[in-house]
Structure 1
Amino acid sequence: METFCKECGHQLITGNNICVNCGNQVIQPKRVKKYKKKEKMYFGITVGIISIIIGFSMWANSYFSQESTGKRFAEAISEKNTESLTKLVVHQDGSPIIAMEAEALVKLLVKEGKRSIEDYYSIQPNGKFLGVFQKHQVEMVDQFAYVEGTVEPLSFRFNKEKVKEEDRGEDFVLMGPLSPGIYDLETKFENDFGSGVTTSEIYLWNVEGEPSWIQLELPFSEVVFELENYSTAMKKASVLINETEILINSNGATDPIGPIMLDGTQKAKLVVEYPWGKVESENIGINSDYQFLTASFLTKNQETEVANLLLQFGEELAQAKAANSTDVFTTITEDNVEIIQNHILNGNSYNNLLYSGQFEEMSMDANILGLLEHIPGIKVNAELLYKEADYYLEDTPEFVSKSYPFLFELTYDEQEKKWLVQSEDKWNTVQNATHVLKGSNTLYEPDQETIKTAKVDIIKEEIEYFMGRFLYASVDAINNNSMSFVEYLMTKDGPSLKETTDYIANMKEKGITQILLSFSVDKVEEKETDVWQVAYTAEYRTFYPDKETIKKFKTVSIVKKVDGQWLADELISTDEI
Structure 2
Amino acid sequence: MKLKCISCGHDLATDIQYCPECGNKIEKQPKRKFSKKLITLLSLGLLLVVSFIVFYLVGNSQHNPIHKINSFEEAVLTENQEELTNLLVAYEDSFTITEDNIATLLSFFQENPDSFETIINKLKEEAESYQNGDVPSTSETYATITLEKNGSRWLFFDDYKLVVIPAFIEVFTTDNSVELFIDEEKIDTTVEEGVHEKKYGPFMPGTHVLKALFDNSYASTEEEIEINLFNMDSNSTRQEIEVNVGNFNIVSTFEDEATLFVNDQETDIIINKGSQVVGPFPLSENIEIHLQKEMPWETIISQSEIINDDVQEIRISKVPTISDSEEEKIIQIINDVFLTYTEALNARDVSLLQDHITENMIQTLEEQIEYIEEEIPEYEGTLRKAQYRVDWYQDPEYDEEVEAYVFDIDVMFTYYEPNGNLGRLFKGENDHEYERGVKVFLLYDEQEAEWKIDQFDNRHFFVFEEDPVYELE
TM-score scaled by structure 1? 0.41
TM-score (norm 2): 0.48
Structure number with greater CO (CA < 8 Å, separation at least 6) is 2
